[in-house]
Chains A and B, each alone.
Chain A
Amino acid sequence: MATNQSALDAAKTEMNFYADMFNKMADQCFKKCIPKYNEGDLNTGEMVCVDRCVAKYFEVTQKVGEVLQGSMQSGFQAGGGNR
């Protein structure tokens, strides 16, 4: 029962993370890529811009996660987890 609870919590945290990332990513890419509102459909340039924006955002979060993980691990090794 305990492992079920912790697995549920882990799943909840992950869902929260992804929901938060989706919201922020959509907001950022919208601000960056959509300058005008002449019509309601995305044109070619905007579509390509959004594609690239999403890819870069993903990569950025990945890299940030890696760096953070590395610093957390080295922090645990060096100062016993207290920074």
Chain B
Amino acid sequence: MSSNNHHHSMVTSGISTRSKEEIIIERAMESCLFKSMMSGVAGGLFGSLMGLVFGGYSSAVDTAVETQGTVKQKWLAGSRVAKNACVRQAKTFALWGTVYSGTECAIEKYRAKHDLWNSLVAGCITGGVLTSQPKIPMGSKARATQMSVGCGGVAMFSLALDYFLEHRE
């Protein structure tokens, strides 16, 4: 999984021969903001794919389609429902990617350590953010319960993913 970063020049006796532009670009690519934006875009793409696959076959499409007459109207109505599902899922997953990546990067920069706690806490925060806007209005205590459930669930998921991707020996 290691990619040899030999596009940067060798450092001998402390004198780095990388150009200034190279260093600036590499620093920008390692910043938390850039990483979270990239993850947001990736999350959006993944979400639109999920929305297409799962929303395109949902019952909402059937109910929209059966009320229309001609084939062209059916097609338009069905694709409109599928597009709505795509957009909704894309927004959710983009938010997930942005928040998770940004918080994990910030926590790791703060601690200066690379272990599983970064992804755990970042997952908890992401889960809390994702569940903080419920569709039905509920009291603050119920919402706090929902948020802690979201925190725990996403934290466990992120921990498992990080463990199996990186920290297995």
Contact = CB atoms under 8 A, between A and B. Distances in A.
Interface of A: 18-19, 22, 33, 36, 38-41, 43-49, 52
Nearest to A36: B114
Interface stretch (B36-44, B76-84, B104-112, B124-132): B104-112
B13 interface: yes
11 contacts: A19-B13, A22-B14, A36-B114, A38-B1, A38-B167, A40-B2, A40-B3, A45-B111, A45-B114, A46-B114, A52-B112
A47 B23 CA distance: 14
Interface of B: 1-5, 13-14, 30, 105, 108-109, 111-114, 118, 166-167
**Majority secondary structure, B binding face:** loop
Interface of A is mostly: helix
B117 to A, nearest CB: 11
A43 to B, nearest CB: 5
A39 B1 contact: yes
